[in-house]
Amino acid sequence: MIHQSTVVCEEMGGNYAWEVVWGGEGRYAWIAIYPRPSECPDSFYNGGVENPRDLEFGLMTVSRKAGPTTAAKQEQGARRSSAVLITGAGGEVGHGLICALHGAGGNSIIATDLRKLEPDQRKMCLETFVGDVCDETLLDRLLAMYEITEIYHLAALLSTRAEFKPETAHAVNVGGTLNLLHLAAEQTRSHGRRVKFIFPSSIAAYGLPDVATKEKAGAIREDDYPSPTTMYGCNKQYCENLGRYYARWYRQLAEDRIADILDFRCVRYPGLISSETVPSGGTSDYAPEMIHAAASGKPYACFVREDARIPFMTMPEAIEATLKLASADASQLTRCVYNISSFAPTAGEIANLVKEYFPKAEITFQPDQQRQAIVDSWPADIDCSAAQRDWGYKPRHTLESAFEEYLVPNIKARYEPSV
């Protein structure tokens, strides 16, 4: 059974209240500090705890008269530290965001991932946690320890993997996002400042009915063809709508609702190509896989047709655009969801360019009908005019310059032996 009560911290002059949640048999989950005075209810001392005078909470101890111990206060501080939260931080987008935010003077980054982050990432963060965005205990702990002012929610199960375990994908992609939106709303209620929620979505949120329609449609806008055919796409589109709901209509019938409780901003990524990591789990991964295979001297069988076309951009451009949207003046934003992309080649055009730089490359086309059908449901190109108008988005690369200036030099350095 879970109990919840509030205790006034007398040593802080009654300005803060400790929100206490604990399970049975004296095992305590978390403490949250909220800037509101409160009386200490009798139920706090009668919640089934044998010795309520000294309650152990791991990081802190609360007693009936003394409030938190001196050592605990020194460790935690009278106020929660302000922080920027990045989920799914172990991937390349997460690594890039950590580096960029830290380089800009941000020393209050909180990062989470299913695996322990690399040492170079951890040293740029105020704190890191190994955990799942579906773990409400972890999120409660974050809520208790920090005043989160900005969230970059990257954690997700990608398109190909999601098709093998769609229910798990829904739990992670939707359930995790809902948990974080709720956390953000509670943070706004707690510290009184609107939390900024940055959500990377995907062109998987689109769903064109057939190849003929795709060819005629050209560059499509954000609100066109909203019928995704994958669990990942359904998840992303639903989470876009969830974010819009939380930002504009959350608890709209409640008397104590806070209007515009979140600043939700979403960027729809196209296929991403990186020189640093070999991807796995995405349906658009044929492009980066092709380049990395050629550089490492391995044959590559492409799982889509030569004429398959979707939009792409380089990984650094995606990170740069995400941060640019995050820093944009809210008064200039006319929508919550924005398209971004840089170039839209066919798979055959990518293969031809790979062979120019790696003449020994062995590339064949052996389409997988199911994965090809997914790519056929995604747009051949997307209209980025809203992002260009509202917050000055501008692609850095064409396909050719991406190869010449970014992909080939870095990938060659990665695979070719040092002289």
| pLDDT tens by residue, 36-52 | 333 334 333 333 333 33
Mean pLDDT confidence for 212-226? 97
In this prediction, residue 417 carries a pLDDT of: 66
In a domain, 103, yes or no: no
In a domain, 89, yes or no: no
pLDDT category of residue 28 using cuts at 50, 70 and 90: very low
Examine the pLDDT at 288 and tell me if it is beyond 60.
yes
Do both 163 and 70 map to the same domain?
A: no
Catalytic residue (choose from 232, 250, 286, 393)? 232
Do both 308 and 184 map to the same domain?
A: yes
Better-scored residue on pLDDT, 401 or 34: 401
Order of strands, sheet of 54-56, starting from the edge strand that comes earlier in the sequence: 54-56, 61-63, 67-68
Q: Which two structure tokens, joined as six digits, stand for 310?
A: 């979707």
Among candidates 399, 369, 358, which has minimal Cα distance to 271?
399
Do both 285 and 176 map to the same domain?
A: yes
In a domain, 98, yes or no: no
Q: Specify whether 357 is catalytic.
A: no
Which three-class secondary structure state does DSSP give residue 149? strand
Examine the pLDDT at 315 and tell me if it is beyond 50.
yes
Last residue of a domain, one of 16, 50, 76: 76
pLDDT category of residue 352 using cuts at 50, 70 and 90: very high
Do both 180 and 46 map to the same domain?
A: no
In this prediction, residue 15 carries a pLDDT of: 36
Q: Which two structure tokens, joined as six digits, stand for 356?
A: 């120019």
Do both 309 and 206 map to the same domain?
A: yes
Do both 67 and 171 map to the same domain?
A: no
Percent of the chain with pLDDT over 70: 80
Do both 163 and 308 map to the same domain?
A: yes
CB of 292 closer than 8 Å to CB of 278: yes
In a domain, 87, yes or no: no
In angstroms, rounded to a whole number, what is the distance separating the alpha carbons of residues 386 and 392? Answer: 9
Better-scored residue on pLDDT, 61 or 288: 288
Give the pTM.
Answer: 0.81
Q: Is 188 exposed, middle or buried (0-12, 13-18, 19+ CB in 10 A)?
A: buried
* CATH number, position 204: 3.40.50.720
| pLDDT tens by residue, 326-348 | 999 999 999 999 999 999 999 99
In a domain, 171, yes or no: yes
Do both 65 and 203 map to the same domain?
A: no
What is the total count of domains within the chain?
Answer: 2
In this prediction, residue 79 carries a pLDDT of: 64
Percent of the chain with pLDDT over 90: 74
DSSP for 205-233 reads G---S-HHHHHHH-EEPTTS-----SHHH
Do both 50 and 180 map to the same domain?
A: no
In a domain, 124, yes or no: no
Mean pLDDT of the chain: 84
Last residue of a domain, one of 76, 103, 129: 76
State whether the Cα torsion 125-129-131-137 is positive or negative. negative
Last residue of a domain, one of 54, 76, 98: 76
In a domain, 96, yes or no: no
Which three-class secondary structure state does DSSP give residue 359? coil
In a domain, 340, yes or no: yes
- Domain of residue 34: give its range: 3-76
Mean pLDDT confidence for 357-384? 97
In this prediction, residue 57 carries a pLDDT of: 34
Q: Which two structure tokens, joined as six digits, stand for 164?
A: 């093998």
CB of 228 closer than 8 Å to CB of 214: no
State whether the Cα torsion 147-151-153-154 is positive or negative. negative
**Cα-Cα end-to-end distance for the chain:** 65
